[in-house]
């Protein structure tokens, strides 16, 4: 049936309210947030909650303040925290999840029970998880007392209170680091395009990479964002939060990997064995390559969760723990405790951009593939 | 996408058993992993059942000598009202978004029109956005509607931001319903609504179970909207718990008992209907 039958009109009518709601609540609200982030709403406390506040357009001043302002060191540490959190959280969930799935794939007795145990934290709220782990990571209690159960002296690790950090770098070097990382990625893309014989793509990527690297060599080292050096790194206070997050979410990767493992036909394993593969090489050459699309999906989902995570941090470290905080938490505090709406909107926009980097290519690739089939 | 397909038909485990030594090692690893996952549970109960003066950091691991069940009634006094708020919120928001998702999923999978996929992708983006990026306008909007501080504002937010995931789950669910069924019904003269009422809706029970469990858990566990759109009379339990546990001089039996109370509904749902929970988990996470 081609064209607009009555039924098809009904289908669109049914969808219309949802489309309208999404258009308002997602897209127009995002636009509004971006607009607010370019104003000075709330920078003057007297105007923040006024009935008719005087709001002026200030361009990118809020963003500039966040990245280079003297008062916003907290935000910069949070940005660094988020990146490290994302990295270790994804690694932890993928590693533990894959390990558990591989064990369960060997069909131990009572498999359902084990699976239930590994997955139950998924059904909890991050607030519940955070409350529990906060108690476990109390400075002189919980985990730090655990060694005394076997007669050892208690540990003194400052799980949520440490101020020590590793992998420190000067914030002033951020443009340089960014340029180098993007440059390297572009080179990889160029090499790939060259191998696939796509000349235009190769030339564009290579040219951009060259420009960036030239900038990094000649101009980058002289760029100073801040008047004085400001060190940021992977703060030890984040470790406890990462462990709690892995505790809660690794069951999810386990479920994904287990579904993937169970989906691999037995004949494939048989064939590999007949070809003389032992267990190790079968996993390396047959099973892990088949699981790589699942790994990619999991990385994307976990990545977007970790960039947004905030309730776990709120419940574990509290709102005022500067060394263990994340931008998503800062946005809430800035907007709804301090009423600095414009600054909060700017943080929200930065978060959105980070998440979009992860999600948009993913959605685009999924649906481009599907549009072709239907 | 692949994982969703597998999840839709839970595969039966093929008979594959590793021999002796490997078996023992397997169980050893399983027990270690189980300890990691269950130790927090032990500590929560051990702490919740202690009387406040028996809680010291040195003895955090000891099982209480005298069980003090009063923590639970005391915690209920503090968060019970919020539990009821959460229950009302989660039930209403879940039912509304399930119904909306079912209709959307039906329209998108069985009455495809040009651009339906693009539209759907634009819709899906809504479930990935950090809600911080819409929070300020949302707050203003809810306030302008006069719903700030009422549970209905929160319901509205949860229903709207639930549209992507419920639509996705139902769309995938209905994709497995053969088109021939719809065609046959069309030939019999049934239209959009008759087909939904007589063919689609009656076979949707498993889809509804997945969506309801998933949404209920999500809405119950949500924190950001709860903290921004409500006031003391309408705050859900996650917010109340964060306040209960947030102070510095807390006696820890209360937050632990509160955490157990707040976790109980979703935990029961998970234990009783875990299979559907996992399906929602897989469908809700892997797109397509």
Q: Spell out the domains of chain B, with CATH numbers in brackets.
A: 23-68 (no CATH), 78-282 (1.10.3720.10)
Rounded to the nearest angstrom, the minimum Cα separation between A17 and chain B is 9
Strand partners, A39: A57
Q: Which residue has the tokens 């948009």?
A: A360
Specify the pLDDT at position B196.
93
Specify the pLDDT at position A204.
92
Q: Which of A118, A297, A314 sits opposite B33 (nearest CB)?
A: A118
Q: How many CB atoms lie within 10 A of CB B156?
A: 22
What whole-number distance in Å separates Cα of residue B139 and Cα of residue A345? 12
Q: What is the ipTM of this complex?
A: 0.89
The answer to whether B201 and B102 have CB atoms below 8 angstroms apart is yes
The mean pLDDT of B118-138, rounded to a whole number, is 93
Helix (H) or strand (E) holding A255, with range, is: helix A237-263
Q: Identify which of A8, A29, A25 has the alpha carbon closest to the alpha carbon of residue A17.
A: A25
What whole-number distance in Å separates Cα of residue A139 and Cα of residue A116? 31
Q: Indicate if the pLDDT at residue B202 is higher than 60.
A: yes
Q: Do A26 and B34 touch (CB under 8 A)?
A: no
Q: Does B60 touch chain A (CB under 8 A)?
A: yes
Confidence of residue A369 (pLDDT cuts 50, 70, 90): low
Task: Tell me the CB-side half-sphere exposure of residue A82, using CA atoms within 13 A.
Answer: 24
What whole-number distance in Å separates Cα of residue A232 and Cα of residue A166? 9
- Quote the tokens at residue A203: 């030339």
Q: Do B224 and A332 touch (CB under 8 A)?
A: yes
Q: Which of A14, A131, A145 sits opposite B58 (nearest CB)?
A: A145
pTM of the model: 0.90
- On chain B, the residues whose CB falls within 8 A of the CB of A93 are none
Domain ranges of chain A: 25-164+236-373
Average pLDDT over chain B, rounded to an integer: 87
Q: Indicate if the pLDDT at residue A374 is higher than 50.
A: no
Q: Indicate if the pLDDT at residue B3 is higher than 80.
A: no
Our CA dihedral for A272, A277, A280, A281, rounded to 10 degrees, sits at -80
Distances (CA, A) of A174 to A133, A219, B176: 33, 13, 50
Q: Does B100 touch chain A (CB under 8 A)?
A: yes
Q: Identify which of A185, A172, A173 has the alpha carbon closest to the alpha carbon of residue A212.
A: A185
- On chain A, the residues whose CB falls within 8 A of the CB of B136 are 32-33, 36, 335, 341, 344-345, 348
Candidate CATH numbers 2.40.50.100, 1.10.3720.10, 3.20.20.10, 3.40.718.10; the one for domain A25-164+236-373: 1.10.3720.10
Q: Does A142 touch chain B (CB under 8 A)?
A: yes
pLDDT digits (tens, 9 = 90+) for A218-245: 888 888 888 888 899 999 999 999 999 9
The mean pLDDT of B153-163, rounded to a whole number, is 96
Contacts of B198 (CB under 8 A, 6+ apart): B185, B190
Q: Indicate if the pLDDT at residue A62 is higher than 90.
A: yes
Q: Which residue has the tokens 């030594």?
A: B21
Radius of gyration of chain A (CA): 25
Q: Indicate if the pLDDT at residue A289 is higher than 50.
A: yes
Specify the pLDDT at position B6.
39
Q: Indicate if the pLDDT at residue A152 is higher than 90.
A: no
- On chain A, the residues whose CB falls within 8 A of the CB of B14 are 266
Specify the pLDDT at position B163.
95
Rounded to the nearest angstrom, the minimum Cα separation between B220 and chain A is 8
**pLDDT: is B64 or B5 the higher one?**
B64
- On chain A, the residues whose CB falls within 8 A of the CB of B228 are 332, 336
Q: Do B58 and A140 touch (CB under 8 A)?
A: yes
Mutation test of the interface with chain A: which of B75, B134, B254, choosing the one with the most A Cβ atoms within 10 A?
B134
Q: What is the distance between the terminal CA atoms of chain B, rounded to a whole angstrom?
A: 5
Specify the pLDDT at position B247.
66
Radius of gyration of chain B (CA): 23
Under DSSP, the state recorded for B201 is G
Q: Do A367 and B120 touch (CB under 8 A)?
A: yes
What whole-number distance in Å separates Cα of residue B77 and Cα of residue A168? 47
Confidence of residue B19 (pLDDT cuts 50, 70, 90): low
Q: Which of B13, B131, B242 sits opposite A127 (nearest CB)?
A: B242
Q: Identify which of A349, A299, A331, A289 has the alpha carbon closest to the alpha carbon of residue A74.
A: A331
Q: Do B34 and A360 touch (CB under 8 A)?
A: no
Q: Closest residue of A to B47, CA-based?
A: A135
Mutation test of the interface with chain A: which of B7, B55, B133, choosing the one with the most A Cβ atoms within 10 A?
B133
Q: What is the distance between the terminal CA atoms of chain A, rounded to a whole angstrom?
A: 15
Q: How many CB atoms lie within 10 A of CB B41?
A: 15
């Amino acid at each position: 049936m081609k064209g607009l039958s009555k039924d098809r009109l009904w289908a669109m009518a049914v969808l219309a309210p949802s489309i309208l709601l999404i258009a308002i609540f997602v897209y127009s609200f995002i636009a509004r947030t971006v607009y607010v982030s370019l104003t000075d709403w709330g920078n003057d406390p007297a105007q923040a909650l006024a009935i008719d506040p005087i709001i002026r357009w200030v361009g990118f001043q809020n963003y500039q303040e966040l990245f280079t302002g003297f008062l916003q060191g907290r935000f910069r540490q949070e940005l660094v925290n988020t990146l490290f959190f994302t990295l270790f959280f994804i690694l932890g969930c993928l590693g533990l999840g894959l390990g558990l799935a591989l064990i369960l794939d060997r069909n131990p007795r009572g498999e359902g029970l084990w699976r239930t145990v590994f997955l139950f934290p998924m059904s909890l709220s991050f607030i519940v998880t955070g409350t529990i782990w906060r108690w476990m990571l109390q400075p002189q209690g919980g985990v730090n007392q655990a060694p005394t159960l076997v007669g050892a002296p208690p540990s003194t690790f400052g799980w949520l209170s440490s101020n020590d950090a590793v992998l420190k770098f000067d914030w002033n070097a951020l443009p340089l680091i960014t340029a180098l990382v993007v440059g390297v990625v572009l080179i990889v893309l160029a090499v790939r395009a060259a191998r696939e014989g796509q000349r235009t793509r190769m030339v564009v990527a290579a040219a951009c990479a060259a420009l960036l690297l030239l900038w990094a060599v000649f101009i980058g080292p002289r760029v100073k964002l801040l008047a004085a050096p400001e060190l940021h790194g992977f703060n030890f206070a984040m470790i406890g939060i990462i462990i709690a997050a892995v505790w809660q979410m690794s069951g999810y990767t386990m479920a994904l990997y287990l579904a993937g493992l169970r989906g691999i036909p037995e004949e494939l394993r048989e064939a590999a064995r007949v070809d003389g593969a032992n267990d190790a090489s079968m996993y390396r050459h047959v099973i892990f390559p088949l699981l790589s699309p699942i790994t990619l999906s999991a990385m994307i989902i976990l990545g977007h969760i970790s960039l947004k995570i905030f309730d776990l941090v709120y419940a574990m470290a509290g709102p005022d723990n500067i060394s263990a905080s994340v931008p998503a938490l800062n946005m809430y505090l800035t907007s709804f405790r301090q009423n600095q709406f414009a600054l909060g909107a700017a943080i929200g926009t930065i978060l959105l951009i980070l998440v979009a980097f992860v999600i948009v290519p993913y959605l685009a690739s999924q649906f481009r593939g599907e549009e072709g089939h239907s | 996408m692949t994982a969703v397909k597998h999840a839709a038909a839970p595969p039966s485990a093929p008979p594959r058993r590793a021999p002796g030594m490997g078996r023992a090692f397997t169980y050893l690893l399983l027990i270690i992993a189980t300890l990691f996952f269950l130790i927090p549970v032990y500590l929560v109960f051990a702490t919740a059942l202690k009387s406040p003066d028996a809680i010291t950091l040195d003895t955090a691991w000891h099982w209480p000598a005298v069980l003090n069940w009063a923590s639970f009634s005391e915690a209920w006094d503090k968060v019970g009202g919020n539990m009821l708020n959460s229950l009302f919120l989660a039930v209403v928001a879940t039912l509304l978004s399930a119904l909306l998702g079912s209709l959307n999923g039906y329209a998108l999978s069985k009455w495809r029109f040009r651009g339906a996929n693009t539209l759907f992708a634009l819709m899906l983006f809504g479930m990935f956005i950090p809600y911080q990026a819409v929070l300020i306008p949302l707050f203003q909007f809810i306030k302008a509607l006069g719903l700030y501080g009422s549970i209905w504002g929160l319901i509205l937010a949860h229903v709207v931001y639930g549209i992507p995931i419920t639509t996705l789950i139902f769309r995938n669910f209905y994709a497995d319903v053969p088109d021939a069924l719809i065609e046959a019904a069309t030939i019999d003269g049934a239209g959009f609504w008759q087909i939904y009422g007589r063919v689609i809706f009656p076979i949707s029970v498993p889809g509804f179970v997945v969506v309801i469990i998933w949404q209920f858990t999500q809405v119950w566990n949500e924190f950001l909207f709860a903290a921004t759109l409500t006031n003391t009379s309408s705050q859900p339990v996650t917010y109340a718990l964060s306040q209960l546990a947030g102070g510095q001089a807390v006696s820890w039996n209360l937050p632990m008992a509160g955490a157990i109370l707040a976790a109980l509904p979703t935990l029961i749902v998970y234990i009783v209907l875990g299979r559907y929970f996992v399906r929602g988990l897989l469908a809700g996470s892997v797109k397509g």
